[in-house]
Homo-oligomer: A and B are copies of this chain.
């Protein structure tokens, strides 16, 4: 596809998520409204009749209302849309397991929802409704009503449609319970059989839209206040960029040995002490507000309102932020109803200092986390913005601090659902959930335009072979045999001990293909894969034969299954532990008992992208590549994680490099 088409596709995907959220939210809202009104009318009528002591009429009215509603619902279901009966959740669940059954996700269904007076819940129907809306959108409207658009053709495949329906199901739960995070988790835990990180984010977006629609938080965001936090994303990605640079510098210093490491730590420690002790001298003392429950200035404990150098009755607001434990600082920044506790200049200094210190501190040779510095920087930024906007906004500055912290975290970590829940659990205030979701979404989106999440960057910088969930686009133009490199070392199924020891010495491969050769089979064929650790255990056991013959049964008697169990790191057998003398190298050993006869294998003409997906999804360590045509050796090569790394692939096929 061309670039513009990919762009169109991505825009469309998110537009659909938005539309599903909006429609499900509206349906949920009107559904609630209808249920409340109809049920309210029914109960009001009954109780009014009872007030006039017309008990039999009251029962007649009550049962009559119930009966009419039930018959309408049943008739709709029985004649028009039989699939609408029941909960709908099992159907959605089976569909997302790719059952390929043709369920009724049609347009008639949502009409069938009537507020019958039964002891039934609304979450099943809402989930089904959400899925139907998603399916309708995915099909590009109904052909019947001439609502097909040409650019919807990108969605005519199974995967996209199932993704949309997952979003719809999550939106249904979110609308039924006003529980957006719960909706995402419901889709994850109960409904979907496959799950990708990207889907988590899109579901989160959809339920955020539902939450916003439902709680009508639009008035909060009218004056563009939420938009400001998008900048948090920029700061977050800027933070990542700086952390990356600083870490690269540090790694040069740290390589020079422990002494330099400690020197660096001492330098940073002194810098931190100077900043946090020196800077509070710059600000003026503030008089304590009256009517406080806590002591001011607080001296004996580590808390709010530090006295520092100030006379009694005054406090130093910068010292409360810098010369304090992290937890107390966060508590101070998030505290509500204390609008004038911190000056504008104080917050600005605090933000700059914490931002810079956080960046230079991470990466020195002590254990450290990233959350707290990022939360601190984000909270001071948010409180700064909140104080600046104080005159235009009704929101509390403490709330602004929380949203600022959320935007920084979203920009740095690029997590959505888990951050949302962690922040909620930290602050114990569920009412700000929709705002929090919006801010996280905005900051993640903004930051994603610049670079990757901070953990991914560190993983990459450390050179760890991390496999992405998706295959790189250029892999589609390659086949599996294109990336097979190096000479292949294979063993015969009954192999000479010397050959095995030599191969183990020569390479550090973890898996070796085992080939059945005549006389054990008619033509050479792939028997399976033997692991290095198992080979070592087998050689240690020294059950060798003089002739080329099968001794598998003897081996099985001598070993137990747990002899081959994986040892702890650094505790397994090593090649040096073997004591194979000259004579023994000429003997034979039967590899059949330790060979895994069902290794995952792909044909050499398999697309590399598909092979990568298989490798990643199943969590393999080795994958055999077998030839397509007979008459050649029965194995072409073995692919490992390193063969799928972009550096290796692009090294072999430099013309595919998109940056050249």
A641 and B71 contact, Cβ closer than 8 Å, known pairs A365-B85, A600-B610: no
Q: Is A568 an interface residue (CB 8 A)?
A: yes
The contact of A173 among B358, B422, B616, by CB within 8 Å, is: B422
Supplied contacts A121-B372, A125-B367, 9 more A-B pairs, CB within 8 Å: A66-B273, A87-B368, A117-B272, A117-B276, A119-B354, A154-B565, A179-B426, A185-B422, A421-B421
Which residues from chain B contact A456 at a C-beta distance below 8 Å? Answer: 90
Within 8 A of B (CB), among A165-206: 173, 176-182, 185-186, 188-190, 193-195, 197, 200
Write the A267-297 contact mask toward B (1 if CB under 8 angstroms, else 0).
0111011101110000000000000000000
Do A418 and B182 have beta carbons less than 8 Å apart? yes
Do B40 and A143 have beta carbons less than 8 Å apart? no
A366 and B99 contact, Cβ closer than 8 Å, known pairs A277-B59, A565-B157: no
Closest 5 CB pairs of A and B: A121-B372, A121-B369, A630-B630, A156-B565, A124-B369
Closest beta carbon of chain B to A402's beta carbon, Å: 14
A-B contact pairs, 30 of them (CB 8 A): A48-B299, A50-B309, A51-B307, A66-B272, A67-B273, A74-B264, A77-B366, A87-B362, A87-B369, A90-B455, A90-B462, A91-B464, A99-B464, A99-B465, A117-B273, A118-B361, A118-B366, A121-B368, A121-B371, A121-B374, A123-B372, A180-B425, A182-B419, A182-B425, A193-B469, A424-B430, A522-B629, A523-B630, A598-B605, A618-B618
Closest beta carbon of chain B to A547's beta carbon, Å: 26
Do B369 and A323 have beta carbons less than 8 Å apart? no
Report the nearest B residue to A377, measured CB to CB.
B119
Do B125 and A70 have beta carbons less than 8 Å apart? no
The contact of A366 among B74, B525, B607, by CB within 8 Å, is: B74
Which residues from chain B contact A102 at a C-beta distance below 8 Å? Answer: 569-570
Binds B, one of A7-15, A108-116, A216-224, A393-401: A108-116
Which residues from chain B contact A193 at a C-beta distance below 8 Å? Answer: 467, 469, 616, 619
CA distance A118 to B258 in the complex (A): 20
Within 8 A of B (CB), among A371-426: 371-376, 413, 415-419, 421-422, 424-426
Q: Is A489 an interface residue (CB 8 A)?
A: no
Do A74 and B35 have beta carbons less than 8 Å apart? no
Do A79 and B466 have beta carbons less than 8 Å apart? no
Closest beta carbon of chain B to A182's beta carbon, Å: 3
Which residues from chain B contact A308 at a C-beta distance below 8 Å? Answer: 47, 50
Which residues from chain B contact A375 at a C-beta distance below 8 Å? Answer: 121
Do B376 and A119 have beta carbons less than 8 Å apart? yes
The contact of A458 among B85, B87, B565, B629, by CB within 8 Å, is: B87
Do B368 and A266 have beta carbons less than 8 Å apart? no
Within 8 A of B (CB), among A620-660: 621, 626, 628-631, 641
Q: Is A6 an interface residue (CB 8 A)?
A: no
Which residues from chain B contact A425 at a C-beta distance below 8 Å? Answer: 177-182, 430, 433
Do A266 and B71 have beta carbons less than 8 Å apart? yes
Write the A92-112 contact mask toward B (1 if CB under 8 angstroms, else 0).
011001111110010000001
Within 8 A of B (CB), among A111-150: 112-114, 116-128, 135, 139-140, 143
Do A121 and B619 have beta carbons less than 8 Å apart? no
Which residues from chain B contact A510 at a C-beta distance below 8 Å? Answer: 100
Q: Is A567 an interface residue (CB 8 A)?
A: yes
Q: Is A22 an interface residue (CB 8 A)?
A: no
CA distance A419 to B173 in the complex (A): 11
The contact of A631 among B118, B200, B630, by CB within 8 Å, is: B630
Q: Is A43 an interface residue (CB 8 A)?
A: yes
Q: Is A55 an interface residue (CB 8 A)?
A: yes
Do B369 and A299 have beta carbons less than 8 Å apart? no
Interface-centre pick from A82, A273, A566, A607 (highest chain B CB count, 10 A): A273
